[in-house]
Structure 1
Amino acid sequence: MKKKHYIIPIFVPHHGCPFDCIFCNQKKITGQNNGLSAAEVDERINQFISTIPEPLSQHIEIAFFGGSFTGIEIEHQRKLLSTAAKWKEKGYIQDIRISTRPDYIDEEIMNLLIKYSVSIIELGVQSMDDEILIKSCRGHSANDVVHAVSLIRTYDIQLGLQMMIGLPGDTREKIDYTADHIIALKPDFVRIYPTVVIRDTSLERMYLSGSYIPFDLDEAVHICKNLLLRFNDAHIPIIRLGLQVTETVAIGKEVVSGPFHPAFRQLVESAVYKDVLDRTCINEEIHDRKTIEIQVHSRYISSLVGQKKSNIEYVLNKYSIGYTRIFPNDSLGFGEIKIIKK
């Protein structure tokens, strides 16, 4: 039986980061506003593991999210990492993940991370366009990203890069430029976040003054559809697409405006499958059929169908089809379908 993958999230909001990125309010995003002691981290890990059946037989990961981990005071880093490493030495933990800034990576930091068995590093790249980085008050350059990636790649460690679309000054051309450069850096995985306006941020003030207009949901879905296909073609998995929903992160709560949706990834995948359905129906000359059978990987059945069956209704109406039946076919990859005429 395949091992289940459990992630123990440890949030260190805004600790170690002296910058105030215009989109960022880590206290809102993480739902926490206090730092954690090593003892508190140890207790959280212990509690989480106690809920996992046969924990020594599962794949369990500790992930330090939020803020800029390698900017934390060095002794506090050591305490947090040694706590995590202790659980790894016991055999309960397989991976330790940290998230940080590209300009907070050097040889000293890397040696510290390796010493305490960190196996995954995520860098908040956001954009590879220096003008956008300046407008977003990121405090680092695109060259810092290239340097950090080059250094990390000299170690046996997994690398993830985070990208944002819709920052001030962003355009579709600049989004493509960033995607090109991220693909060229060959990360093991990426995360893509459409920019949303969070309360109590500089971006909110820009939005309220009219100097910043976020992408709308349809535009963000269309852009991310193309990004999903590009990264898929490059064999780089997107492990997250869209901001994670929490108790506070939702429209009408802390999200003031922007392309936020609790099922954003499914909207994007459904947009891909709508195009695939259209193209396949044309190629297969599907029209005026009483019934067609559509095969798709079981993982993507809901994306094929679309929210409120929107994709299926689209095909039925456009091609005058009476009825569709959906069957799983796990030999098909993402974006692949097979239509059987009846």
Structure 2
Amino acid sequence: MTRKIIPIFVPHRGCPHDCIFCNQKKITGVSTDITSEKVRNIINEYLKTIKKDAHIEIAFFGGSFTAIDINIQESLLSVAKEYIDKQIVKDIRLSTRPDCIDENILNMLKKNGVTIIELGVQSLSEDVLDESLRGHTSKDVIKSSQLIKQWGFKLGLQMMVGLPKDTQEKCIYTAKEFIKLKPDFVRIYPTLIVKDTGLEKLYKEGRYTPFDMEKTIDIVKKLLVLFYTNNINVIRVGLQTTENISLGKEILNGPYHPALRELVESRLYRDYIEHLINRYDLKDNILIYTDKTNISKIIGNKKENVIYIYDKYKIKIKTKEDLLESSIKIETGKKSITTTLKNIYKDLYYIYNL
């Protein structure tokens, strides 16, 4: 069944803090407050374009939903719940802060049909949280995550890579702590310098340098391996491209790419192929059979992987589309290796020494 999301943006509504990296109005492209009437209009407009047999979800993004006045929360949610009650919509999702969750709030959300709660955690390193002016601690994250699970909601956790004081080690620490909380899914975002934020000020004063693309890919590939080897789905890597979200517009600097996930997954394949070359002392050209969704990742952006392997090992890589869904067959000389994506992640877990 096709999953379709009806996004409703609530920029900075209710948010008690201005985090150093955040300007929701720039990120979402929405600068006006949301009302129950607008919620209904947005839902109805989207429903005109969605097939009736789709799994439809209404998602309140941006801001800190559960920090809004309780009456406004219920007013917005009551509209969404009408579509749940009519069995038109399957899920209601919202995002909020870890320190804006308690049992009273969860009780209200449950009564109003909410099924999925995402927490904007960003990091579980206290110094990174402090430098980013998050206004909450790692203990808040642990407490709220446990409550959300206890109340039967699906839990999503969001993390950022490259915040002030961040390092690869701290990112990996955050991912490992996420795993202990057993979220249903995770989102990973690189830190970008958005106009009219505290981070822009630090950057212009020379007190903050964003991670470059290479460092970001190197970190995020390890995060993906950690989450996937622990059966946690990563539903997004990088900000979704919008009219505002692109370098030179609202983004001043940072590791932005409209297909960041593709770059990261491509690097995973390259690392695995290079591991096989070294492990088996391969000398012959390589032919890889896989399904069509993986071919571009194996070849790499602008044939990056093909060029890298040839320049370093003088081995040519070719791909051939096959019907082997989620599996890969590698042939080189007299050697043939068949594996699955799941096993590749397991191997990379040890290759990366995680």
Shift of 1:313: 2.8
Task: State whether structure 2 residue 159 is matched by structure 1 residue 163.
Answer: yes
1:124 match: secondary structure? strand
Shift of 1:153: 1.3
Which letter does structure 1 place at the counterpart of 2:43?
Answer: I
Match of 1:296 among 273, 283, 290: 290
Contact 1:196–1:258 (8 Å) recurs in 2: yes
Shift of 1:319: 4.0
Contact 2:11–2:30 (8 Å) recurs in 1: yes
What's the C-alpha RMSD, in Å, of the aligned pairs?
1.5
**Superposition pairs of residues 77-226 of structure 1, within 5 angstroms:** 77-226=73-222
Contact 2:185–2:232 (8 Å) recurs in 1: yes
1:162 match: secondary structure? strand
Tell me the residue number matched to 1:310: 304
Tell me the residue number matched to 1:63: 59
Task: State whether structure 2 residue 335 is matched by structure 1 residue 339.
Answer: no
> Cα 1:196–1:207, aligned 2, differ >3 Å: closer, same or farther?
same
Deviations 1:197-244 (A, max 9, x none): 001001000000001111011101111011111111111111111122
Shift of 1:322: 5.4
Mapped to 2, the partners of 1:315 and 1:213 lie a distance apart of: 31
Tell me the residue number matched to 1:49: 47
Which letter does structure 1 place at the counterpart of 2:5?
Answer: I
Shift of 1:321: 4.1
Mapped to 2, the partners of 1:181 and 1:329 lie a distance apart of: 37
> Cα 1:4–1:297, aligned 2, differ >3 Å: closer, same or farther?
same
Mapped to 2, the partners of 1:199 and 1:31 lie a distance apart of: 12
Shift of 1:194: 1.0
Mapped to 2, the partners of 1:313 and 1:74 lie a distance apart of: 57
Contact 1:293–1:327 (8 Å) recurs in 2: no
> Cα 1:87–1:51, aligned 2, differ >3 Å: closer, same or farther?
same
Instruction: Name the count of aligned residue pairs.
Output: 333
Contact 1:288–1:319 (8 Å) recurs in 2: no
Contact 2:221–2:264 (8 Å) recurs in 1: yes
Shift of 1:317: 4.3
Mapped to 2, the partners of 1:131 and 1:282 lie a distance apart of: 39
Per the normalisation by structure 1, the TM-score is: 0.93
Per the normalisation by structure 2, the TM-score is: 0.90
Task: State whether structure 2 residue 265 is matched by structure 1 residue 269.
Answer: yes
1:153 match: secondary structure? helix
Structure 1 residues without counterparts, runs of 5 or longer? none
